[in-house]
Amino acid sequence: MASNKLVFLTGLRSELIQKVLSYAPNDYQIVVLDETSSQGEIIAQVRDADFLLCYRQDPSDGVLRSLEKCRLVQLLAAGYDRINLDILAELGIPCSNNGGANSWAVADQAVLLMLAVYKQLLASDTSTRNGDWSKPISGLNTFEMADKKIGILGFGSIGRQVAKRVQGFDAQVQYYDLDRLDNDTEVDMGVTYVSVEELFRTSDILTCHTPLTKNTTHIVNSRTLSMMKPSAVVINTSRGSVVDEPALIDALNKGLISAAGLDVFEKEPVDPDNPLLSMDNVVVTPHMAGTTWDTWARRAKFGFENMERVDRGELAQAVVRNFDAM
């Protein structure tokens, strides 16, 4: 029996490529293509590929249309907004994300940003190093998580991990998602479903964990930001375009909300002149939330187990939904 051919499109460094591929079945024929590979080379290699594995290198429409025998496109990331799902649907090829493999890491980052904002972490670090000790801390500008309403926009695997973490700080959790949980599950998880308007209106911290679709692009905008409490904080570790950046900048400047913690931006790498980078009430990180050493084993194990499922004639898990086609 012929072995399966896997094409791995990636921008990872060699050490991480080796880590990921250490979980591949021994009999797979594996071709690794990076940013230096031409479109022609990629197309030639994927024509007879059984599986396409992707991370930090997005297949073009031309590459996707060249998948003549592919049975699964497997992403190592959670997001799938940069791959043409319409073409894959036309070809009958399922596309799966990482099945929540990085949900722990992203949830950790979301809480980190919440705490960094609430505890004035960056200002305190700078003042301590500069000999100003506790100068930035007035007693009026630091806060606890306890009893705060944490509004989770998007309650998938990452949103649920965030809920667990903030509940450990005695915070209250409310959420909005297109797929509402049943009542018993909500009770078991200690979460409350609210409308998207109420989520913006009543949350002390709004944290975004929704996929990027036509309906979620700029869901955080001038209208929804104007609903929020002046003391509210916006956290985004999902996709930059979930937030309308000019509207966020305006809301921060006008005091419509108090602060923001951002791991993602509409343009990445972020422009050094982006006004968000010069704001004292904004904490930023470079789209690093899901990138930890610990995630690679989970990402790789899930991806290769998914390929093995398909090879046995079973359905793939974590197949993404094309919300824009619904």
Task: Give SS3 for 62.
Answer: helix
With contact defined as beta carbons under 8 Å apart, do 81 and 324 qualify? no
Is 268 among the residues known to form the active site?
yes
CA distance 291 to 312: 31
Is 239 among the residues known to form the active site?
yes
Strand partners of residue 261: 235, 283
CA distance 84 to 257: 36
How many contiguous H segments (helices) and E segments (strands) does the chain have?
Answer: 12, 12
Strand extents, DSSP E, 177-257: 191-193, 205-208, 233-236
Query: Exactly one of 68, 144, 197, 268 is catalytic; which is it?
Result: 268
Tell the residue number behind the tokens 């046995």, with chain if given.
Answer: 312
Instruction: Report in angstroms the alpha-carbon separations of 240 from 69, 188, 219, 262, 301.
Output: 34, 32, 11, 8, 28
C-alpha neighbours within 13 Å on the C-beta side of residue 163? 23
Query: Exactly one of 209, 218, 239, 299 is catalytic; which is it?
Result: 239
Q: φ and ψ at 217, to 5 degrees? A: -60, 125
Q: What is the 3-state secondary structure (H, E, C) of 146-173?
A: CCCEEEEECCCHHHHHHHHHHHCCCCEE
With contact defined as beta carbons under 8 Å apart, do 68 and 308 qualify? no
With contact defined as beta carbons under 8 Å apart, do 81 and 60 qualify? no
DSSP annotation of 225 reads H
Query: Exactly one of 160, 165, 218, 287 is catalytic; which is it?
Result: 287
Catalytic residues: 239, 268, 287
